């Protein structure tokens, strides 16, 4: 049996970016003709698309794990890797996308609306793109960054102009079938409707949508019956139509009692901030099944009481179609007036242009610990740069140090009190931990070293030219002193022999 699902948790994983390539072009008579490593391809995105043809989230209930394609690796001869294939997930119009902690990310109320739920990873640059006049043949490339991975909650709220509310078996599905081309399931037992049914109604020049909300009972706002699972579908409706059963045979039920119960449940349901409370919206009463003689007499009896409450009352029959034309035209007038008021109240959209670089790109947080203070670097750029670094390559590590220094992290660490040898972590959680040495950021491009190496990371204690010159002079002076001493001893021996 097909089940209606209006709330699911998606587990998404975007594609990983491909790694850049390290390659040096070789030609005849030119064994080292320059770097030609291509860039890695970007990872694929996971995109949610509002599709009017989709009416339920059932497919994501059965298959909640979705992932996009990874980017290809770069290759030699300046060949870039292929971009990962993006994944488009169609969702019903009216789907609200939330984070696991309940924060609303986007409300997809417009057909065709697109939302990148999981952005793909960035492809790494090849050594050709990293070459510069001072670093002519880089011996490293950047790695691809991982794509976004996490959970999102999809919640469907039906988008309709009119909501039909009432007790089970009040005739709501029959009313939708009578005024529109929709063909919902209709039977003579309670809770026949297990999901909202939508229909399109044409009333003169006004066209509007009508939703059959599944039957409500006392305690629905607290979760009884179908409860909160379908009360959310009333949130977006402009007009509420109370469908009251005038031919019910259940003891203790009558149109006035049913209306009081439904109004109490609608009043107890909290709507999102900024929306009009349910009971403050236009309301109409439809006394149904007046084709039954006893029901007609009951409708005539309760009508004055309902009108005394300020409600507009219509006596209808979905069998004989009595009163349907008057009801639909009255609803069309309410919808048309609401659309006019909404267009007049809607403020003109303001375009705000924010220059790039207006926000700080990183921050340094000092955290205490048993082994002394720990300095944590947070920010999109530093974290992404660490993900792109091959820590098995000394030249790549030196390049990372240069990037961090140019970003201003070096000065910020000095400002917050960091000293050489302090523990620094880049990113949340465990992150990348290292002992900070300011000497690592000292213009790697000006140093001459074999590809794939960085002299700043060399543990050897090779002496400088000045040190070697000083040592050479010390040895020459020592030899001169030794020669002078031997010469003095020889002269002393010769003078003794002559005497």
Tell me if 243 is assigned to a ligand binding site: no
Q: How much is the average pLDDT of 333-348?
A: 79
Tell me if 99 is assigned to a ligand binding site: no
* Enclosing domain of residue 380: 363-457
Q: Measure the CA–CA gap between 93 and 111, rounded to whole angstroms.
A: 6
Tell me if 48 is assigned to a ligand binding site: no
Tell me if 291 is assigned to a ligand binding site: yes
Among residues 305, 299, 277, 297, which one has the least CA distance to residue 286? 299
Tell me if 213 is assigned to a ligand binding site: yes
Q: How much is the average pLDDT of 21-40?
A: 85
Q: State the chain's mean pLDDT as an integer.
A: 81
Tell me if 319 is assigned to a ligand binding site: yes
Tell me if 194 is assigned to a ligand binding site: yes
Scanning 55-184, the segments in alpha helix (DSSP H) are: 58-62, 127-130, 172-179
Same domain, 150 and 167: no
pLDDT class of 192 with cuts at 50, 70, 90 = very low
Q: Measure the CA–CA gap between 446 and 426, rounded to whole angstroms.
A: 27
Tell me if 313 is assigned to a ligand binding site: no
Query: For the chain, what percent of residues have pLDDT higher than 90?
Result: 20
Same domain, 40 and 144: yes
Q: What pLDDT is attached to residue 124?
A: 94
Q: What pLDDT is attached to residue 487?
A: 84
C-alpha distances out from residue 461 to 437, 456, 470, Å: 17, 11, 16
DSSP letter, residue 316: -
Beta-carbon contacts of 222 under 8 Å, excluding residues fewer than 6 positions away, are 268
Scanning 58-203, the segments in alpha helix (DSSP H) are: 58-62, 127-130, 172-179
For residue 440, the tally of other CB atoms under 10 A from its CB is 19
Q: Measure the CA–CA gap between 365 and 87, rounded to whole angstroms.
A: 37
Tell me if 166 is assigned to a ligand binding site: yes
Same domain, 381 and 274: no
Same domain, 212 and 339: yes
Same domain, 188 and 336: yes
Tell me if 290 is assigned to a ligand binding site: yes
Tell me if 168 is assigned to a ligand binding site: yes
Q: Which residue has the higher pLDDT, 443 or 160?
A: 160
Tell me if 72 is assigned to a ligand binding site: no
Indicate the residue among 345, 376, 394 that finishes a domain. 345
Q: Which residue has the higher pLDDT, 185 or 105?
A: 105
Residue 243: pLDDT over 70:
yes
Same domain, 416 and 445: yes
Query: For the chain, what percent of residues have pLDDT higher than 70?
Result: 82
Q: Measure the CA–CA gap between 261 and 249, rounded to whole angstroms.
A: 17
Same domain, 333 and 419: no
Which strand ranges, in their side-by-side order, compose the sheet holding 7-13?
65-67, 7-13, 149-156, 95-98, 104-108
DSSP letter, residue 393: -
Q: How many Cα neighbours within 13 Å face the side chain of 1?
A: 5
Tell me if 382 is assigned to a ligand binding site: no
Same domain, 370 and 453: yes
Same domain, 209 and 256: yes
Owner of token pair 């990148």: 116
Q: How many Cα neighbours within 13 Å face the side chain of 233?
A: 31
For residue 460, the tally of other CB atoms under 10 A from its CB is 5
pLDDT, tens digit, for every residue of 385-434? Answer: 999 999 888 888 888 888 888 888 888 888 888 888 888 888 887 778 88
CATH number at residue 137: 2.70.210.12
C-alpha distances out from residue 16 to 12, 84, 87, 333, 370, Å: 13, 8, 13, 53, 37
What pTM value is reported for the model? 0.68
Tell me if 244 is assigned to a ligand binding site: no
Please say whether the beta carbons of 286 and 262 come within 8 A: no
Indicate the residue among 97, 130, 156 that finishes a domain. 156
Task: Name the domain count of the chain.
Answer: 3
Tell me if 174 is assigned to a ligand binding site: no
For residue 398, the tally of other CB atoms under 10 A from its CB is 23
Tell me if 193 is assigned to a ligand binding site: yes
Helix %, strand %, coil % of the chain (to 5):
30, 20, 50
Beta-carbon contacts of 284 under 8 Å, excluding residues fewer than 6 positions away, are 239, 240, 241, 242, 311, 312, 313, 314, 327, 330, 331, 334
Tell me if 358 is assigned to a ligand binding site: no
Same domain, 170 and 317: yes
What are the two backbone dihedrals, phi and then psi, of residue 376, each rounded to the nearest 5 degrees? -105, 125
Q: Measure the CA–CA gap between 313 and 300, rounded to whole angstroms.
A: 11
pLDDT, tens digit, for every residue of 64-123? Answer: 999 999 999 999 989 999 999 999 999 988 888 999 998 889 888 888 899 999 999 999
Tell me if 197 is assigned to a ligand binding site: no
CATH number at residue 284: 3.40.50.300
Residue 481 domain-assigned (yes or no): no
Q: What pLDDT is attached to residue 445?
A: 46
DSSP letter, residue 75: B
Q: What pLDDT is attached to residue 43?
A: 95
Letter string b/e over residues 324-358, b meaning 16 or more CB atoms within 10 A of that residue's CB: beebbebbbebbeebeeeeeeeeeeeeeeeeeeee
């Amino acid at each position: 049996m097909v089940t209606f699902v209006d709330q699911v948790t998606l587990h998404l994983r975007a594609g990983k970016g491909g790694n850049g390539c390290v390659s040096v072009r070789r030609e005849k008579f030119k064994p080292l003709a320059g770097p030609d490593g291509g860039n890695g391809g970007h990872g694929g995105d996971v995109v949610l698309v509002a599709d009017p043809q989709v009416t339920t989230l059932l497919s994501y209930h059965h298959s909640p794990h979705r992932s996009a394609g990874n980017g290809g690796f770069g290759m030699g001869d300046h060949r870039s890797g292929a971009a990962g294939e993006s994944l488009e997930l169609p969702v019903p119009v009216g789907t609200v996308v939330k984070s696991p902690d309940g924060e609303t990310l986007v409300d997809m109320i417009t057909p065709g609306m697109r939302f990148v739920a999981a952005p793909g990873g960035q492809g790494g640059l090849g050594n050709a793109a990293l070459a510069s006049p001072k670093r002519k043949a880089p011996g490293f490339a950047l790695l691809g960054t991982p794509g976004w991975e996490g959970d999102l909650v999809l919640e469907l709220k039906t988008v309709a102009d009119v909501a039909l509310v009432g007790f089970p078996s009040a005739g709501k599905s029959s009313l939708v079938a009578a005024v529109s081309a929709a063909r919902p399931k209709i039977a003579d037992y309670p809770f026949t409707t297990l999901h909202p049914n939508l229909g399109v109604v044409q009333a003169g020049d006004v066209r509007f949508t009508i939703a059959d909300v599944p039957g409500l009972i006392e305690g629905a706002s607290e979760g009884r019956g179908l409860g909160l699972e379908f009360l959310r579908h009333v949130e977006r409706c402009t007009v509420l139509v109370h469908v009251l059963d005038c031919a019910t045979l259940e003891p203790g039920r009558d149109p006035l009692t049913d209306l009081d119960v439904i109004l109490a449940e609608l009043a107890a349901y909290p709507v999102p901030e900024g929306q009009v409370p349910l009971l403050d919206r236009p309301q109409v009463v439809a006394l149904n099944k007046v084709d039954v003689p006893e029901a007609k007499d009951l409708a005539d009896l309760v009508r004055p009481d309902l009108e005394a409450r300020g409600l507009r009352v219509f006596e209808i029959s979905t069998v004989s179609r009595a009163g349907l034309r008057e009801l639909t035209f009255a609803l069309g007038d309410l919808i048309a007036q609401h659309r006019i008021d909404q267009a007049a109240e809607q403020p003109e959209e303001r375009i705000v242009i924010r220059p790039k670089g207006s926000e700080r790109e990183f921050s340094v947080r000092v955290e205490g610990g048993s082994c002394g203070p720990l300095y944590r670097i947070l920010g999109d750029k530093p974290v992404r740069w660490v993900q792109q670094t091959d820590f098995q390559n000394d030249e790549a590590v030196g390049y990372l140090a240069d990037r961090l220094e140019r970003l201003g992290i070096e000065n910020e660490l000095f400002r917050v009190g960091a000293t050489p040898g302090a523990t620094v972590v880049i990113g949340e959680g465990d992150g990348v931990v290292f002992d900070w040495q300011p000497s690592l950021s000292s213009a790697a491009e000006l140093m001459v070293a074999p590809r794939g190496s960085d002299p700043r990371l060399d543990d050897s204690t090779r002496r400088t030219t000045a040190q070697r010159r000083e040592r050479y002079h010390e040895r020459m002076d020592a030899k001169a002193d030794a020669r002078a001493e031997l010469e003095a001893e020889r002269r002393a021996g010769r003078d003794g022999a002559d005497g």
